[in-house]
Chain A
Amino acid sequence: MIEIRNLSRRFGTVMAVDDVSLTIAKGEMVALVGTSGSGKTTLLRMLNRLVEPSSGTVLLNGQDTAALPAHLLRRRIGYAIQGHGLFPHYTVARNIAAVPELLGWPAAQIRERVDELLTLFGMPPADFRNRRPAALSGGQQQRVGVARALAARPEVLLMDEPFGALDPVTRAQAQADLRRIQRQLGTTTVLVTHDMEEALALGDRIAVMDRGRLVQCASPAAILTRPATEFVARLTGQSDRPFRLLGLVPVADLAEPGAASGTPVDPALSAREALAECLWSGREALPLTGGGRVTLHRLAERARGAE
């Protein structure tokens, strides 16, 4: 668990982060969004003390992070950045092994962990272990970067626009992988992103920053339906809001008994995709695979923010 208490950082006359307080539960994923220069990176880097706060405290599992030597603190916190920052002179395996090596794990255990992580990220160890980062695609480099951050089973994972440089398809895959792995490992995660869709797709909660201040931290649905300020409303994009709201729920949640004509759709699809299918095929209702249906009326209701 991370408790951020009245955290501030000043650079000269600029308050990069201004009196931010936030508690992040164990296993939670918080997406940090805001315009460029709003202080997201600075806030994130204060959590592992790459930036020292001007005032305020950060508690990690109740322990003041300022009480530890910074490098020992950082070994407990995974850190992944845009442009991956892999060591070009190390193999993939040695890159992933970096933190376990710093922590003095036995060699056999490190080897096992490296293979486990490569497998987890869908990269067959036999094929990838001994490659240099230069011999990987951008998406593979990014995955190795995240695998490296997770190698020593950190309590916390910090990510700064990790998928910023990827194409949409690769990015969607990387996001899905991250979500799956984060759930599986239960790692408390803070993710800085510019991409609202990414924040909505990944965040259990979304924290919005504006000129150094934290203006709202709430669930994706709450951020969309009840923005705390004009700035949050603008950031979440008013024109896309109904669709984004529908994107948060599987169509199964809106199902009702009854029948409808045409090809049935998968209940695991998002309500947003079901709406698109209704509009595209000109149907008032869609049958769901395995029974039941969803109506255009119900979808529209939900898009207005009704529960």
Chain B
Amino acid sequence: MRIDRPGLVLALPGAAAMLLPFMQFRANRIVAGEALSMPGWAMACLGAVLALGALRLPQLWRLLAAAFGICLLVWLAGNVATGLTADAPQAARASPGSGLWLMMGTLALLVADAIAKMRPGLRVQALILTLACGAVALALGSGHLADISVMREYAARSDIFAAHARRHLVLAFGSLLAALMVGVPLGLWLHSERGARPAVMGGLNLVQTLPSLALFGMMIPLLSWVAASVPGAAALGIAGIGFAPALIALFLYSLLPVVGNTVVGLDGASPEAREAGRGMGMTPQQVLARVSIPLALPVIVAAVRIVLVQNIGLAVIAGLIGGGGFGTFVFQGLAQNAADLILLGAIPTVAMALVAGIALDLVVKALQR
């Protein structure tokens, strides 16, 4: 039997994960709890999965083994949580321990490694992504995990969770859309007006270096003034704190990648092709629309990917100034020292960023063909 090196490397954290606590049981959400380790039979199963992962087998086998391990882990976590909390008072919490998280991460990397080595086509990759999202939705929707602490936090807030999720999406996608509407035309303009580049790019670079808190600090007086003095502004929801400054901050942070990539993409579009377009009688607008922009598109979409992933993460700060989104849970959790509540904000944020990143990578690859 031959050894698969990345698989072998992954077996190490996997083995360590078995020694770490699998679940934590606490009397309530604040106090420290007792650690539970994984049942022996599960250790044996997962050990076998890791061993399969470390061998040079057909990649589909490694993939299926790791996927089975993840399912087992999730199923077990739900079961153990239900068992622990069944006879306990309502405030008692069963939360995933470091061992569970580490094992989950290890198996996820094993899945990624196997998929990467199978070199699936773009369609298959998209299908795998869809299936993975569906599996997560199924696991969460089934109620099997309802007794895990994070899901308890969710249950307590299920009424506002969807609204905050929507708000998070609006913040991330809305700022991206605005940045595209302003940044692409700005990039087009800078493409022809080389002289204006240093000033504009310098300004955008400066914005990028401002810490978000400083940006908010500057916007509070500015937007308060706008709300107070521009008729109708307050009715539109513009205020010193809240949604508007969060959206504006994300928009400003998005501009540099969008403008920068638009300019680079247009500059890189084959000069001979542009010259040929001009020589055959295209107007400057036609050269732009039929040659330069299509050729620059993969680079512009790459900027969309960067900005979207960045904004999904950054949108958490909106929670700090009452702008809504998953950040609300994160900052509430921080204030209450409740780790489960922080996770209720953090996990969906990471998942959303991950899915958006992978999906847009696929789009970029599809455009580059």
Contact = CB atoms under 8 A, between A and B. Distances in A.
Contact of A81 (B272, B283, B295): B272
B294 A89 contact: yes
Contacts of A79: 276, 279-280
Contacts of B291: 87
Interface string B59-103: 000000000000000000000000000000000000000000000
B277 interface: yes
Nearest to B291: A87
Contact of A75 (B270, B281, B294): B281
A84 B279 contact: no
B278 A102 contact: no
B281 A81 contact: no
A250 B92 CA distance: 104
Interface string A61-98: 00000000001111110010101111111000000001
A74 B276 CA distance: 11
Contacts of B28: none
A81 B277 contact: no
B275 A85 contact: yes
Among B275, B279, B290, B294, chain A packs the most CB atoms within 10 A around the CB of B279
Interface residues of A, number: 23
A113 to B, nearest CB: 15
A87 B276 contact: yes
A148 interface: yes
A236 interface: no
Nearest to B270: A88
Among B270, B272, B273, B276, chain A packs the most CB atoms within 10 A around the CB of B276
A107 interface: no
A149 B294 CA distance: 22
A48 B270 CA distance: 21
Interface in B18-66: none
B286 A102 contact: yes
Nearest to B276: A85
A76 B275 CA distance: 16
A149 B282 CA distance: 13
Contacts of B278: 50, 74
A87 B290 CA distance: 9
A31 interface: no
A224 interface: no
Contacts of A50: 278-279
What 3 pairs between A and B have smallest CB-CB spacing?
A85-B276, A75-B281, A74-B281
Interface of B: 270, 272-273, 275-283, 286, 290-291, 294-295
Interface of A: 48, 50, 71-76, 79, 81, 83-89, 98-99, 102, 145, 148-149
Given A74-B279, A88-B295, A145-B276, 11 more contacts: A50-B278, A73-B281, A74-B278, A75-B281, A81-B276, A81-B279, A84-B272, A84-B276, A85-B276, A87-B277, A102-B281
22 contacts: A48-B279, A73-B281, A74-B279, A74-B280, A74-B281, A75-B280, A79-B276, A79-B280, A81-B275, A84-B276, A85-B272, A85-B273, A86-B273, A87-B291, A88-B273, A88-B295, A89-B295, A99-B280, A102-B281, A102-B282, A102-B286, A145-B276
